[in-house]
Structure 1
Amino acid sequence: MYKIIYIILLMMIWSACNSRHSNIENAYIPSEPDYTDSKMWYINLNDTDDSGADIFYIVSTWEFDWYTNDGQICHYADPVNIKDHRDDMAIEISKIAQYMGQKNNFYAPYYRHITLNSWATCNEDTINRRYHTVSFNDVQKAFQYFINTNNNNRPFILAGFSQGGKSVVELIKTMPDDVKKRMVAAYVLGYKVTPQDTTECKNLRAAKDSLDLGVTICYNSVSDIKYIKPVISVPSAMCINP
């Protein structure tokens, strides 16, 4: 009985998502983050002797669809105006910073990621439209600010989980060669690198050795096969045992 109810609820979410597909422009879009504002960053500076690298980490998906006071639906997190959304993202970011930020400088932007409703239930076309229209725009601007203001030509590591992993892939596709040459590695966690991605972008190269530089490390694991979803896992051109 509970399984039937669960399936019906999923179908309702899917139907609602598809009905909103043609009306995406009518949904509420939160204010764009200003990455000169320290409130839009989680930063830990732990490289005290200039022997480490910079970490640029992109958080995954935390918020569900929500409504404004005047009843508009929103398919994005709102880190500018809703502190709880920043606090939710910080739960994940702080845990990652505990190990990736050891003796490194750690930077993670808060951004308008698409919601779990979009990420988990919509078709890939709708996901990409919402993601590229708003979310990836934030990630690109945050990364550019990081490169121009914080990085100071130091080596850096890109990393992201799930939706953040998608952002890592997309950043590499748009990364200038003079920036790419300083990238130690890119970690695509809980997401995929498709054969088409590697065909389109020569800089998406799978790591073959622990000493490789400028390469991509991609892996994705689940506790049960029922959690395998095409949008995050298949097809993937690489999977490297961590």
Structure 2
Amino acid sequence: MNKGLYLVFLMVFVACKSTYITQEFTQKNIPSKPDYSLETNWAVLPITYSKELKEFSSKEIDTLKADVFYIYPTLNTEKDDIRWNVPVNDVMQQEKVLNKTVLFQASAFTTSGKLYVPYYRQAHLRSYSMLKNGGEHALLLAYSDVKKAFETYLEKYNNGRPIIIASHSQGSTHAKFLLRDFFDSKPLQNKLIAAYIIGTVIKPNQFKSIKPMVNPNEIGGFVGWNTFKKGNYPKKKDKYKGSVTTNPITWNLDRTTELNQHKGFLYSNKKIYEEALEIEVTDGLIWSTNPKFPMRFFMSFLKNYHVGDINLFWKDIQENSVLRTNTWLVKNK
């Protein structure tokens, strides 16, 4: 597999196996708690954009009137990594966050708002299949960081600006708690432009007052989906059944799309490939055709497109988040 394709599909989501090497979850094995008043514990702040990230934004950062709080997906998946949680100063993890998830996921939102991405003590992938043996503790520890980072963001950076919450996979696990704790039936919900809670199971009644959005310019609610190759299911066929399944191309209740409706797939060469795929909305799943892009032959072997939940629809998300942001700003003049 060529290097470019490897960068995009490195994070292929696989079921956890009992062959994982692990350690007991104990206090002495917990990495140090991050201090979010320090810039070093943030992957991205508006004043620390990398040159590559700035290339994705067509606007000057200071002219943006909204904020985006992004929570990245699971990146520590190695079977010989015995840690339950990754320290925020882990250099290899930081490199993955900045050069994979920020560039190929969070970048879709940089024309909508100022981007905030905290490092957090992320739980290992095995946490999901070993909840009773340490996994639940690891995930709750990871969320405690996300929660603290968001509290710091509100206190230090937000200044009353409207907010987009964006997340993927494990990040979406934490985003659901974040919406519950800070937005659902709370005053801050008035500042919620939209929540893009992608790559997880999220039910229509997940929250008391935050509802699924079914129109492209709707605000104050959430969207979500899980992507598979057309005709394929997860190993547990009903895993996503009943989960909110937003059409990430039309953003309405359309069940299918045509090739010319697809705005663009961001590939690892940083080029956008328009009209690259068609989708079908099923119960809990987005079925996608094999997208048209360089080396697409290799993708034909994949059945689960979880890793591409965002970058397969990168330009679609970019345009939609701008639309929702502008709608919020007009309604709240």
CA distance in 1, matches of 2:225, 2:192: 19
**Residue pair 1:194, 1:235 contacting (<8 A) in 2 also:** no
Letter in 2 for 1:12: T
CA distance in 1, matches of 2:230, 2:34: 36
Residue 111 of structure 2 corresponds to residue 98 of structure 1: no
Taking structure 2 as the reference length, the TM-score comes to 0.58
CA distance in 2, matches of 1:54, 1:166: 20
Residue 93 of structure 2 corresponds to residue 85 of structure 1: yes
Q: Which residue of 1 aligns with 2:12?
A: none
Residue 175 (structure 1) shift: 1.0
Residue 62 of structure 2 corresponds to residue 48 of structure 1: yes
Residue 225 (structure 1) shift: 7.2
Residue 234 of structure 2 corresponds to residue 228 of structure 1: yes
CA distance in 2, matches of 1:229, 1:178: 40
Q: Which residue of 2 aligns with 1:57?
A: 70
Q: Which residue of 1 aligns with 2:217?
A: 211
Shift in CA distance, 131/155, structure 1 to aligned 2, threshold 3 Å: same
Q: Which residue of 2 aligns with 1:150?
A: 157
CA distance in 2, matches of 1:122, 1:224: 30
Shift in CA distance, 130/188, structure 1 to aligned 2, threshold 3 Å: same
1:127-166 → structure 2 map (5 Å cutoff): 127-132=135-140, 134-166=141-173
Q: Which residue of 2 aligns with 1:4?
A: none
Taking structure 1 as the reference length, the TM-score comes to 0.77
Could you give the per-residue CA deviations for residues 8-56 of structure 1, whole angstroms, max 9, x where no partner exists? x93423xx66xx6xx4226711111110111111123643334x31000
RMSD: 2.9
Q: Which residue of 2 aligns with 1:35?
A: 36
CA distance in 2, matches of 1:98, 1:110: 16
Query: Share of identical aligned residues, percent?
Result: 23
**Structure 1 residue runs without a partner (length 5+):** 1-8
Residue 103 (structure 1) shift: 5.2
Q: Classify the secondary structure of the residue corresponding to 2:127.
A: helix
Q: Classify the secondary structure of the residue corresponding to 2:46.
A: strand
Could you give the per-residue CA deviations for residues 180-220 of structure 1, whole angstroms, max 9, x where no partner exists? 2101000111111136xx26x31331002122211010111
**Residue pair 1:66, 1:74 contacting (<8 A) in 2 also:** no
CA distance in 2, matches of 1:35, 1:122: 29
